[in-house]
Amino acid sequence: MLAVVRCLEAWRHFLEGTTTRFEIWTDHNNLEYFMKAQKLNRRQVRWALYLSRFNFMLKHIPGSKIGKADSLSRRPDWEVEVERDNEDKTLVKPEWLEVRRTERVEIIVEGVDLLEKVRKSKVKDDEVVKAVEEMKQAGVKMLRDKEWREEDGIMYKEGKVYVSKDDILRAEIIRLHHNTLVGGHRGQWKTVELITQNFWWPGVTKEMKQYVEGCNSCQRNKNHTEQLAGKLMPNSIPEKPWTHISADFITKLPIAQGYDSILVVVDRLTKMVHFIPTTEKTSAEGLARLFRDNV
């Protein structure tokens, strides 16, 4: 049926809208099955809509009696290596993945050459230092079944660029993947997923969480998902006097007897008040002494 649809698409300008019914010869007898009412899938429904634009009749002719059509589709020179034409073929070549991984770093952080900054940074974590020493002792560029490898002065862990122990560089990588238009101020896990497509360093998830929690734009514009605080409840009534108090200062008063402020202490139960003269320069130790001596 697909061959019939493709042929009609190729010859549409001759066959569509004709008043004379034309015949489609085929050696597939099962196509007559579609000439009767059936339950069609979505692809067959699309074909049926397209075929409704043509005035045709499917006619079955055995392959032995349709030699002219067979001579066009069964040329002897097309049979050469037909049975083995798909052997030893690789669908996805390994070099495609590595090249694309490197290029994607530059596309995401357009205008910033992060690979060059990673290459110049020399401070490394203990795990990486150990891996580099093992590679130097063995005289190889790859270690532990491709877990670690070095290429152009850059260390790779499982195909991802290792970012050295440089807080400024790591913070810049996070910023470029979170604050830019490409990053879009996405949440913690989405940003981690975006970063770890190309980069890796120990504790990247923890640092990303701290960065998102401290992002000014995210905290001001995004909805908070924590549980609601609930209804406001009145404070419980104290059972004894002076177990619950409130205190406040009255300042900027005219100086009288060396004092320019008043410390007001109120008992919540009896509403009894202490007015204690003091100054604005009272220290924490001085405030504690006022409470001890007057309250």
Exposure string over 63-98, b if 16+ CB within 10 A, otherwise e = eeeeeeeeeeeeeeeeeeeeeeeeeeeeeeeeeeee
Percent of the chain predicted with pLDDT > 70: 78
Whether residue 90 has pLDDT greater than 50: yes
What is the spatial distance between Cα 170 and Cα 162, in angstroms, rounded to a whole number?
A: 10
Q: State residue 57's pLDDT score.
A: 85
What is the spatial distance between Cα 291 and Cα 268, in angstroms, rounded to a whole number?
A: 16
pLDDT one-digit tens code per residue, 41-57 = 888 888 888 988 999 88
**Which pair of structure tokens corresponds to residue 137?**
């002792």
DSSP state of 46: H
- 164 Cβ contact partners less than 8 Å away, ≥ 6 residues apart: 118, 121, 122, 123, 124, 125, 128, 201
Percent of the chain predicted with pLDDT > 90: 20
Q: State residue 109's pLDDT score.
A: 54
Whether residue 104 has pLDDT greater than 90: no
Confidence of residue 251 (pLDDT cuts 50, 70, 90): very high
Q: Average pLDDT, stretch 18-22?
A: 88
Please report where in the chains the tokens 């073929």 appear, as a residue.
89
From start to end of 72-212, where are the E strands? 142-143, 148-151, 154-157, 160-162, 199-200
- 244 Cβ contact partners less than 8 Å away, ≥ 6 residues apart: 235, 238, 267, 268, 269
What is the spatial distance between Cα 66 and Cα 28, in angstroms, rounded to a whole number?
A: 12
pLDDT one-digit tens code per residue, 198-246 = 888 888 899 988 998 888 888 888 877 777 778 888 888 899 999 999 9
pLDDT mean across residues, the chain: 80
Q: State residue 98's pLDDT score.
A: 53
- If one compares 40 and 284, the residue with the highest pLDDT of the two is 284
pTM of the predicted protein model:
0.41
Q: State residue 277's pLDDT score.
A: 94
Give the DSSP H or E segment for 133: helix 126-138
